[in-house]
């Protein structure tokens, strides 16, 4: 298991995982990427519990890319739990979803999301969006040390 995790991609759809990874890699994002396949796994990973109970607590991900439609615990619930935890709320969370519904956008921002990106259907636009978010959150933005 790679200890040098910097990006946590929470996505249940393997095709989407593959395409997002491809897009990130093609835009020269070198950071290690860890994939959680449902909301529960994502929370277990971040809070170092369950199957991740032996993960060191002082290595939180640098960025979380969160899909909204997830099995077990859905994206908004994951977001709510992350943002209500005193330590984890500083981790930038970017919602990356197919939904452009206003209620999803509004609810995400109410829960404290840092960015909301609707996955463009067009692959070219999708790559541009992934590139922009990678550049912004991993290079331009300065998170708390």
Partner 1 sequence: MAGGLGVIRKVENLSIKQQLTRMNMLVSCAALLVACGAVLTYEVAAFRQSMVRGLSIQAQIVGANSVSALMFEDPESARKTLSALDAAPNILSAGIYTAAGEEFATYFRVRQEALPLPALKGDQSESHRFADGELRLIRRIVFQGKQVGTVYIRSDLREQGRRIIRYLLILTGVLLVSLLSAFVLSHRFQRTIAQPLVGLAKVARVVSRERNFSVRAATTTSRDEIGELIEAFNEMLGQIQERDSALQSAREELEQRVAWRTAELESVNKELESFTYSVAHDLRAPLRHIQGFSAALSEEFGAQLSPEGIEYVGRIVKGTRRMGLLINDLLALAHVGRQELHLRWTGLNGLAEEVVQDLKEEAGGRNIRWQTGDLPSANCDPGLMRQVFYNLLSNSVKYTRPRNPAVIEIGQTHVNGEQVIFVRDNGVGFNMKYSAKLFGVFQRLHRIEDFEGTGVGLATVQRIIHKHGGRIWAEAEVDMGASFFFTLNRAEPSL
Shortest distance in whole angstroms from residue 15 CB to partner 1 = 4
Q: Residue 70 forms beta bridges with which residues?
A: none
Distance CA 99, CA 85 (A): 26
For residue 132, state whether it binds partner 1 (rule: CB under 8 A): no
For 39, residues 6+ apart whose C-beta sits below 8 A from its C-beta are: 10, 70, 71, 72, 73, 74, 75, 77, 78
What mask of x and - would describe binding to partner 1 in positions 13 to 32, judged by CB under 8 A?
Answer: x-xx-xx--x----------
The residues with which 35 forms a beta bridge, in sequence order, are 9
CA pair distance 20, 96, nearest whole angstrom: 10
Enumerate residues 31-70 that contact partner 1 by CB under 8 A.
69
* CB closer to partner 1, 37 vs 69: 69
* Shortest distance in whole angstroms from residue 40 CB to partner 1: 20
Tell which positions 90-129 bind partner 1, by CB under 8 A.
97-101, 119-124, 126
CB closer to partner 1, 123 vs 132 = 123
Gyration radius of the chain over CA positions = 14
Q: Which residue matches tokens 């040098």?
A: 4
Contact residues: partner 1, CB under 8 A? 13, 15-16, 18-19, 22, 69, 97-101, 119-124, 126
């Amino acid at each position: 298991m790679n200890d040098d995790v910097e990006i946590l991609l929470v996505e249940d759809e393997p095709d989407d995982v593959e395409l997002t990874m491809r897009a990130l890699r093609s835009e020269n994002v070198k950071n290690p990427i860890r994939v959680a396949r449902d909301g529960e796994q994502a929370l277990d990973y971040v809070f170092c519990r369950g199957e991740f109970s032996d993960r060191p607590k002082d290595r939180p991900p640098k960025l979380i890319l969160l899909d909204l439609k997830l099995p077990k615990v859905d994206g908004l619930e994951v977001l709510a739990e992350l943002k209500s935890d005193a330590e984890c709320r500083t981790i930038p969370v970017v919602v990356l979803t197919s939904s452009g519904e206003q209620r999803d956008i509004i609810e995400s921002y109410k829960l404290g999301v840092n960015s909301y990106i609707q996955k463009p259907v067009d692959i070219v636009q999708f790559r541009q969006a992934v590139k922009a978010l990678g550049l912004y959150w991993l290079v331009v933005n300065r998170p708390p040390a």
